[in-house]
Amino acid sequence: MTSADELLAQLDSAAPGLVVGAHVVGSAVMDDVVADSDLDVVIELAHVPADLSVLMAPVDVDVIYVLAGELVKPVSSASTVAWGRDGKVDASSQGDLTPVLWEQLRTLSSTVRGTRPACPVTREDVVAHCRENLRSYWEPLLQQADRVLTNREEHRPVFREPLLWIAFGPARLWHTIRTGEIVSKSRAAELAAARWPDLAPLLLDLVAARRDPSSVELTVDHGAAALELGKRVLAAG
């Protein structure tokens, strides 16, 4: 994974003085980095560059660019300059500015340049966003995954990345809704396994597969456990 220092060196070389703040969030600050993790970072800029190509980041960096001063605003009032993902930079739409990101920046970020932001956000904001995200994004995705797995034979192998995505996402939201705490993907699955022991062996297999893809062969059984977890999370609200 590209380091924050490497990213800053690239940006400073392309546009000296442009980057005035940099704040790492996500797996890198939650002790949950695995082989295919991305660097998640929010970058504050002194101004909007005339040539947005100077903001191009490596393929394993997920970056949101904002102007200095945006992070002290309520998230509903803040805006992005651009965002970068998969080696591309895009200014045509807003990046993913959410109450959850604001809470991460406020409590869980690692500031590698500038001052750690005191983003204005409340627990109620965070929980409301998580509940809305469960219904608008995860519920339809779980329904789609359920249709894909229906009638597939037990113990048949399944694709790792989409399975891990649907397994860990709802679990993270479930924990945040209950406690206000934001946790990593792996930790969320471990907490869900403790809450629902009947799903625990398969959920812990998923954690192991995230850390080492060769450690566990993921099958339809694991997919069924992930879907059942999602249904329980939705029911818990």
Q: Is residue 162 part of a domain?
A: yes
- How much is the pTM? 0.92
Please give the tally of structural domains in the chain: 2
Let me know if residue 118 belongs to a domain.
Answer: no
pLDDT digits (tens, 9 = 90+) for 167-187: 999 999 999 999 999 999 999
Percent of the chain past pLDDT 70, that is, above it, reads: 100
Domain boundary among 87, 113, 139: 113
Which position has the higher pLDDT, 230 or 151?
Answer: 230
pLDDT, tens only, 118-142: 999 999 999 999 999 999 999 999 9
Q: Look up the CATH number of the domain holding residue 37.
A: 3.30.460
| Owning domain of residue 101 | 4-113
pLDDT above 80 for 12: yes
**Shared-domain flag, residues 54 and 151:** no
pLDDT digits (tens, 9 = 90+) for 105-115: 999 999 999 99
DSSP letters spanning the chain:
---HHHHHHHHHHHSTT-EEEEEEEGGGGTT---TTPPEEEEEEESS--SSGGGG---TTEEEEEEETTGGGS-GGG---SEEEETTEEE-SS-----HHHHHHHHHT-EEEES--------HHHHHHHHHHHIIIIIHHHHHHHHHHHTTPPTT-B--HHHHHHHHHHHHHHHHHHHHS----HHHHHHHHHHH-GGGHHHHHHHHHHHH-TTS---BHHHHHHHHHHHHHHHHH-
Residues 6+ apart with CB under 8 A from 115: 21
Q: Is the pLDDT of residue 44 over 90?
A: yes
Distance CA 171, CA 181 (A): 12
Residue 9 lies inside a defined structural domain of this protein: yes
**Is there a domain that residue 39 lies in?**
yes
- Let me know whether 45 and 132 are in one domain: no
* End residue of a domain, out of 58, 86, 113: 113
Residue 42: C-alpha distances to residues 87, 96, 124, 224 (Å)? 16, 11, 23, 35
Q: Cα separation of 200 and 48, whole Å?
A: 48
Region 43-47: mean pLDDT is 98
Residue 218 CA to residue 224 CA, distance in Å, equals 11
Residues forming a β-bridge with 41: 24, 63
